[in-house]
Structure 1
Amino acid sequence: MASESTSSPESPYMDWHSRAKPHPSPDSFSPTRSALSFVVLRNSQVEPEGFTLALFDTGEEKVAVDAMGRVLLVIDKDYTGITTIARRVAVELPETGRFRNTWVIKQPATSQPIDRLLFDVEGQLVETSVQGFVKGKKELKIPVGDISELPDVLGELAGLALEGRAGYSRGSGDSEMVRKVKNILDGVDL
């Protein structure tokens, strides 16, 4: 098995969250399952049903709802880049054979958060999860076949997804918008 690696390529889409602009009329945005492209949920001891991010393509605009429930307009290049990476994760990576298709990062402590990355593939949400993600830390606790390090594409996606937690403070923000997003996730065990 490979020794611990801490290098990872920087994504050209890094800082997408800071480039996104507040939606001019956030109350007018109504999340729908048909417009949903990508959603990130977080399971941890503190937040067993946590929410990080959802990306939507309404046809007229590319929208993100972040962990604070902020409704943001995402730059087309960033949206396309993130969803292309998410599609690659959903269709190219091997199944782990574990619950929620989880890739487990080697960490010194147990009970690490699990980031659940769900991407829409032909109307179905395909889930790939990462437990214990820390940017740059790649060594897997449990190899997947002959893969002993987190694939770069999955590390890149997890890092980009976690930008949706920027400024997050539990119990603050627009919890109603987060609830609306969660309500469209039919069939997903929160």
Structure 2
Amino acid sequence: MLSSSYAEWHTRATPYPNSSSFQPTRADLAVLVLRNSPVEPEGFTLAFFDSSEGQVAVDALGTILSVPREDFSGITELATRVSTELPPTERFRNTWVIDHPTTSQPIDRLLVSVDGKLVETSVQGFNKNKRALQIPIGDVTELPDILQETVGLVLEARDGYSRDKVDKTVVDKVKEIIGDEVVL
């Protein structure tokens, strides 16, 4: 993965005070990352909320965290640039497919709030050390640097992930705010 000044953001984040009172809202949602795979067909990785009470993340375990402003701003800016600057893939869910010898690779779905709408860019088969695309997007043959960096950063929210340790109540609260807006 490319080096990033925002790397290790997840370890710098701190437990959110009064996590029992946290109420995610669609208006505060900045970035949402979902995962589709054979094991997790409706998986959840991360949500970033910019609320009046600060910058908040909900990670893959459903842990509610306060994120340092610099990390939050930097990662959400990168995600917004991915959604607004990269060419469309013309594929379902705007998916960039990494070249792998096997099929059924996980798809990480980056959804960014841009002008009130969720704009999706997905990466199938993300790997920190592998960037060649299965099929080029125009003349682009490798995953663009900004997409490589952004997906690498948001996947930090899966550090220590285990399905049996997830706070399903928190994750379900986050999923509820998007309702039918995003097909899981």
TM over 0.5: yes
* CA distance in 2: counterparts of 1:41 and 1:185, whole angstroms: 12
Tell me the amino acid that sits aligned with residue 54 of structure 1: A
- Superposition pairs of residues 113-152 of structure 1, within 5 angstroms: 113-152=106-145
Distance (Å, rounded) in 2 between the aligned partners of 1:113 and 1:25: 34
Aligned equivalents of 2:102, 2:124: Cα separation in 1: 12
1:36 equivalenced with 2:29 (yes/no):
yes
- Amino acid in structure 2 at the alignment position of 1:114: I
For residues 144 and 59 of structure 1, the distance between their equivalents in structure 2, rounded to whole angstroms, comes to 39
Structure 1, gaps ≥5 residues long: 1-7
Query: How much is the aligned-residue C-alpha RMSD, in angstroms?
Result: 0.8
Q: Secondary structure of the equivalent of 1:112? A: coil
1:125-168, CA deviations, whole angstroms, 9 ceiling, x for partnerless residues? 00000000011311000110110000000000100010010111
Cα separation, 2, equivalents of 1:146 and 1:67: 34
CA distance in 2 between partners of 1:141 and 1:59 (Å): 43
Once the two structures are TM-superposed, the CA of residue 25 in structure 1 deviates from its matched residue by: 1.2
> 1:58-110, CA deviations, whole angstroms, 9 ceiling, x for partnerless residues?
02310000000000000000000000000100000000000000000011211
- 1:78 aligns with one of 46, 71, 87: 71
- Unmatched segments (≥5 aa) in structure 2: none
The sequence identity of aligned pairs, in percent, is 60
> Which among 31, 34, 39 is matched to residue 46 of structure 1?
39
1:62-73 → structure 2 map (5 Å cutoff): 62-73=55-66
Alignment partner of 1:95 is 2:83: no
Equivalent position of 2:175 in the other structure: 182
The letter for the 2-side match of 1:18 is T
Task: Give the distance between the partners of 2:2 and 2:170, measured in 1 at CA.
Answer: 33
Helix, strand or coil: the match of 2:178?
A: coil
AA of the residue aligned to 1:124 = K
Cα distance, 1:24 vs. partner? Answer: 1.7
Partner of 1:18: 11
1:189 alignment partner AA:
V
TM-aligned CA deviation for residue 42 of structure 1: 0.1
Letter of the structure 2 residue corresponding to residue 73 of structure 1? S
Give the aligned length.
183
* TM-score for the superposition, normalised by structure 1: 0.95
SS in 1 for 2:96: strand
